[in-house]
Structure 1
């Protein structure tokens, strides 16, 4: 028998597979198969297994089996975190600059043509030695009297636009003697009222500074929602400290005549929105 005959016989030789019952050996299923069919089936099984493995390694199992996928994913996370850190950094810088400009304005600075605050610090006074919350029998009597007064909720105004959810109380009732004028460097309004008149917060917020300057005397500032800040200058007594929460219409100070830039009892009120001054008369009624 030649080689070709042996190969042909090896390929064409058929095998019978029979499946029987264990109890009575009756035939359940039977089929015949050749060696070439077995080889083809084994090849198809291996090919299918390879394709399924490659698919899983690129999809469901990629994070465990594909190092390139893991590296790419880590790189994307690093870039995303870097962008978040950068945005937070610039936001914090802007906030710090905003607060710094407000504090410089409180200390007697003014805006130049580019909107930058030029500070002109006062000399010859140690502010650490000042008692911002004046003590004494008369002062304590006034403080207790005004702090015990109920809030007057009949005179607030509600505005649209950026301040659609903010209620504005008049800080006090009085006469406007000096109006808002940015050209002349007057970023608020001067309201003349009776001596020892209580000054109220125009809206709910948190006290961000409560201090004294040589030019404007005792000052207090409140941070409201929507990045709005209200500033009250020339007070005689400050009733709130930094970090104190206040409600709209709550008494925060007493009108005064402190500082070099005053010629009588009055309140200087400023409104700042995102570092830009606003005209208080557009939002608040003082009479």
Structure 2
């Protein structure tokens, strides 16, 4: 019982610290401090030094204290360089194909050169997303041909069969003013929506991206395959934020409104809906106001 009491008394014991001049030993200042307070100050100084050293080793001095820092930095740099080289390679191949197509057109050939390994089609999508296993139907293939600039064999407007369309809620791709309505008689199979600059464009429902490309007439185009052979198409974008094979949710941003392509007179979104190969009037299912 005496030992704890003696320990507490030793912590409470005070010491007088006097500072004197060396020449005449006159007192400059003096102060008293207990053993417990001295230990507390030492512990606080240790914690501060340890914390400061830890922060420095993770920030400014990380390259010195972390042996794996240099390896991780080199790995990230190599990965970034690999992506850049791959993108440049694909871009060079696309431009080579474009030149070959121009040469074929000038020479009078009608067949268009298309190398499946160099375009944003199935092989490229599988490389980006190995789980992408989309098999397009005949109706979907005809729409993909139209998006690549090839003429449609037929584009009949018909009422969708079943209750799938009527019972499904669609997110508006964006809010804005409809400046050009759906008019198949004038080969206008969608609507034009004008909105603010850099407005995000959203997917109308859950689905899988089946087409992302740039065409001369419609600029940057992205298409999403939904259930029951419903396809939504978004044209004249300034930026496409998704790749072929990406799974998107309804309301998820997929692109940015733009003014790309020759068939445009200002920033807007040309939006189309196709159901089993037939165009639908988007205003019958979505409110854009």
Instruction: Please report the TM-score for the alignment, with normalisation by the length of structure 1.
Output: 0.49
The structure with more radius of gyration:
1
